[in-house]
Amino acid sequence: MASVTTSPLGVKTNTSSCSRSSFSVSRNSAGFDVSEHLGDRSYVMLETFRRILDDLGRMDKPVLAVVPGPALGAGNVLVAACDMVIAAASAKFGQPEIKAGVFNTGAAALLPRIVGRKRAFEIVLGGASISAAEAERIGLITRAVPDETLEAEAAVIARRFQESSAAVLQCARRALVGGLDAPFAEALRHAEDVYLNQLMASEDAVEGLQALIAKRKPAWKDR
C-alpha cells in the first residue's frame, strides 16, 4: 500500500508493499508552505514534487485518493494525479498559490488535462476553492459522498480491487495510462499490445475466462 499525506508544511510520502495501492489525503491538506517558494528552496521543492508525481504515474497499480477534508495547493494536484478520487461532501479543492504571488507548476501542467483549459485557467489563476460537488461535476474527482459514509464507500472500492486479479488490474491500468496523451489510433494500438502480449500471457486472464464459461468464481493467482 502506498500513502501520501499533504500538509501546509510540505509533502510526505510513505510506501510499503501491497498487492493493491491506495492514496490518502489528510484533513490538514489546507495549503502550502510559503517559505518553500523562496530562494534556492523553490528548486528543491519543485524537484521533490515532480518526483512524487512521476512516482504516481509509474505506479503499476490502481491509485485511489480518499479525501476527508480540504485538498488545496499541492493536495489538489496530488488528487488530480490519482486514478480515482472519492471525497467527503464537505471537502474543498483549489490552487490558492496565486494569492501569494506564485503558482503551482504541477497544476499548470496537469489540470488542463483533467478538467479542460477553461476550468484549469479559472482554478489556477483565480485562486478560489471549489466544493466537492463541483469537483465531481468537472471531473477532478470521481465521486463526492456524505461525510459520514466516506470510509464505508472507500472500503467498497477497496474490496472491489481485492476481489479482482492484481495482474489483470495492472494490465488494464497500463493500457489506460499508456494512451492518455496519445492520439486515438496510437492509444488503441498500445491497448491492443498490452492486451495481446501482457494480459493474455497471464495465468489470470485464462482463469477468468474459464471461470466465466464454467460459471464459477475465479481463483486468482495474481500472475
Please tell me whether residues 146 and 172 are part of one structural domain: no
Phi-psi region of 209 (alpha: psi -120 to 50; beta: other; left: phi over 0): alpha
Lowest mean pLDDT among 23-27, 43-47, 110-114, 163-167: 23-27
Q: Report the alpha-carbon angle 86-89-92, nearest 5.
A: 85
pLDDT value at position 195? Answer: 96
Question: How is residue 138 written as a grid cell?
Answer: 468537472
Please tell me whether residues 140 and 188 are part of one structural domain: no
Please tell me whether residues 66 and 47 are part of one structural domain: yes
Count structural domains, the chain.
2
Is 151 a domain residue?
yes
Alpha-carbon distance of 1 to 29, in angstroms, equals 20
Please tell me whether residues 187 and 152 are part of one structural domain: no
Q: Which residue segment(s) compose the domain that 175 sits in?
A: 165-214
Please tell me whether residues 32 and 117 are part of one structural domain: yes
Q: Show Cβ contacts of residue 190 under 8 Å, excluding neighbours closer than 6 positions.
A: 175, 178, 179, 182
Is 223 a domain residue?
no
Lowest mean pLDDT among 34-43, 124-133, 203-212: 34-43
Is 221 a domain residue?
no
Please tell me whether residues 12 and 55 are part of one structural domain: yes
Burial of 86 (0-12, 13-18, 19+ CB in 10 A): buried
Please tell me whether residues 18 and 115 are part of one structural domain: yes
